[in-house]
Structure 1
């Protein structure tokens, strides 16, 4: 005879799920309690551990989990970095509308870039207004900003992907950058559902005439604000890693004067495009469309970024700049040398 189900565990097996929820709930409550004690009550980790009867290591883990879940967000007042001396000098030197300069990290360029992208994530919402159409570029720098962005609701904001799709490592692809930022802001997202580069110009023209693609490209042209980085023209460039150009191509272009890359398009020291053959096979925002925006937020940091960033500024693509103190100093030094 088949035994009857236990009263403590229904035959449908759902008690296991309920048991997991019941066990998870106390841990969830503990994470919230630890977070409140640490950030609101100002208790240290040892005091929290003693109060809750848990180990200090558990307190550390709970605080890390709270940050991971966005229960708490640590941000600094960007006005502090806007009013920093180097930031004001950048504004005065280059005729920018505003700039943010954070201290370079003693741990190297990678940590400095992390600092810059985090401060941009805090700064960007204050630069946006209802009805804005924010064009979003691609690459590691822009992706880091999107990942660090706070979860806020931006009223009547449209996020627009500025370049067509291209395989990229670690989520740095254009559609990932735009979709991530749109999700963080609760904004409408217009993706550009075409490859960045096609095999021939005729195919590009046919795709451009498709009603859906035509509407998406119109959204690209109509962006009133942009956020972008200006890449390098070396063998580690983003355009090389994504296969847009190979190392021989980028070296050849650098010999012809290429110093930076904006949305897949090469520029020289003055910010002018090199007008390569591949341009006719690309579906992306044009350099002319990147100029004269209500806001062009240029984000960058690192020992190899000053020259490309200066080219972007000289070309009229940037109204706002975010960088680290060492890169800001390099920009000012280069401006003096090129004067």
Structure 2
């Protein structure tokens, strides 16, 4: 008969270290150790693999996961002179309070993440107790959450500036706002309605509802609003997720639209175009965005240049976060 191994007595307490290790889990323990050895102690990937008894491929994969999940956040304090020069040109040309220009990534696919890191770092320094933060949506703002410095900010309120979409998406309007609120320990308010109502009359009816009216009033009183813009090009997020019907594109182009800001389509001069979609949009009107003390537009890429320029000409925002190539195009006029 096999001997029975006695378990721990009920009065035996587990060590604090054992409890912590259980909570963290083996994967997070390993990744944290790898990140420390690589970024703090300066060991090579091969040295870490040998030290921990794992393959170098696993070390590389874990370091990538550390960066993607925000376990490791890299801050570079140096400023590139060309970016600083472009910031000054943009501030003067478009009457901005501030411009932040970051180097363009070699791979254009990494641009939303690059800008998202810049937005998260900027917002981490600006947001404070008792404020109201309005949040738009898009790939850049989705990535910005990972770069936010996680902490509890007393009496902070986060408000979604747009209605939502009817199906799940990693860049849903609601998801971005809720993740920002969770990261900063804030109370979150949503516009519980679709981004576009089925008709202008239904949109007006929705906005008369007490709940939505309250959220919009909070949005109008925001201290900081962070938004992005959408283009009409084939890579547009609106088109990719089906928020913008392909049949509506010819009418928008005929009306002179170059893209949208808060789901309101603008022409090259920054004016809302005369199109039914604009009368169906559920969100903070772009005219109200002008009145927010600190209104931030975070966007970049060749496809976005016309709509970013339109938003700047229209005076809807006073702060711009973009990349070097986009800034060069905007500075050239």
C-alpha distance in 1, partners of 2:29/2:162? 44
C-alpha distance in 2, partners of 1:165/1:276? 20
Aligned to 2:292: 293
CA contact (8 A) 1:234 1:250 kept: no
CA contact (8 A) 2:265 2:278 kept: no
- Sort the Cα spacing of 1:60 and 1:244 in 2 relative to 1 into closer, same or farther, 3 A: closer
Aligned to 1:320: 319
Aligned to 1:310: 309
C-alpha distance in 1, partners of 2:258/2:270? 9
CA contact (8 A) 2:83 2:324 kept: no
Deviation at 1:29, TM superposition (A): 4.6
C-alpha distance in 1, partners of 2:47/2:314? 56
Question: Given the alignment of the two structures, is residue 184 of structure 1 paired with residue 183 of structure 2, yes or no?
Answer: yes
Deviations 1:70-105 (A, max 9, x none): 443212238668962212221122221111112222
- Sort the Cα spacing of 1:168 and 1:103 in 2 relative to 1 into closer, same or farther, 3 A: farther
C-alpha distance in 1, partners of 2:305/2:166? 27
- The TM-score normalised by the length of structure 1 is 0.82
Question: Given the alignment of the two structures, is residue 37 of structure 1 paired with residue 37 of structure 2, yes or no?
Answer: yes
Deviations 1:288-316 (A, max 9, x none): 11113211111111111111101000111
CA contact (8 A) 2:134 2:219 kept: yes
- Sort the Cα spacing of 1:263 and 1:84 in 2 relative to 1 into closer, same or farther, 3 A: same
Structure 2: 5+ residue stretches without partners: 9-17
Does the residue aligned with 2:321 lie in a helix, a strand or coil? strand
- Sort the Cα spacing of 1:212 and 1:67 in 2 relative to 1 into closer, same or farther, 3 A: same
Range 277-286 or range 25-34, more displaced? 25-34
Aligned to 1:13: none
Equivalenced residue count is 322
Deviations 1:162-217 (A, max 9, x none): 11112367422211111122222222111111222333444434433333222222
C-alpha distance in 1, partners of 2:291/2:142? 24
Structure 1: 5+ residue stretches without partners: 11-17
Deviation at 1:68, TM superposition (A): 5.2
Question: Given the alignment of the two structures, is residue 124 of structure 1 paired with residue 123 of structure 2, yes or no?
Answer: yes
- The TM-score normalised by the length of structure 2 is 0.83
Instruction: Supply the RMSD in Å over aligned alpha carbons.
Output: 3.1
Question: Given the alignment of the two structures, is residue 269 of structure 1 paired with residue 271 of structure 2, yes or no?
Answer: no
Does the residue aligned with 1:135 lie in a helix, a strand or coil? strand
Deviation at 1:268, TM superposition (A): 1.1
CA contact (8 A) 1:138 1:228 kept: yes
- Sort the Cα spacing of 1:66 and 1:281 in 2 relative to 1 into closer, same or farther, 3 A: closer
Question: Given the alignment of the two structures, is residue 155 of structure 1 paired with residue 154 of structure 2, yes or no?
Answer: yes
* 1:1-339 superposed matches below 5 A: 7=5, 29-67=29-67, 70-77=70-77, 84-107=84-107, 109-167=108-166, 170-333=169-332, 335=333
C-alpha distance in 1, partners of 2:318/2:79? 17
Deviation at 1:137, TM superposition (A): 1.0
- Sort the Cα spacing of 1:305 and 1:26 in 2 relative to 1 into closer, same or farther, 3 A: closer
- Sort the Cα spacing of 1:31 and 1:75 in 2 relative to 1 into closer, same or farther, 3 A: same
C-alpha distance in 2, partners of 1:123/1:152? 15
Does the residue aligned with 1:212 lie in a helix, a strand or coil? helix
CA contact (8 A) 2:131 2:157 kept: yes
C-alpha distance in 1, partners of 2:78/2:126? 11
Does the residue aligned with 2:265 lie in a helix, a strand or coil? strand
- Sort the Cα spacing of 1:215 and 1:232 in 2 relative to 1 into closer, same or farther, 3 A: same
Deviation at 1:123, TM superposition (A): 1.5
C-alpha distance in 2, partners of 1:79/1:129? 25
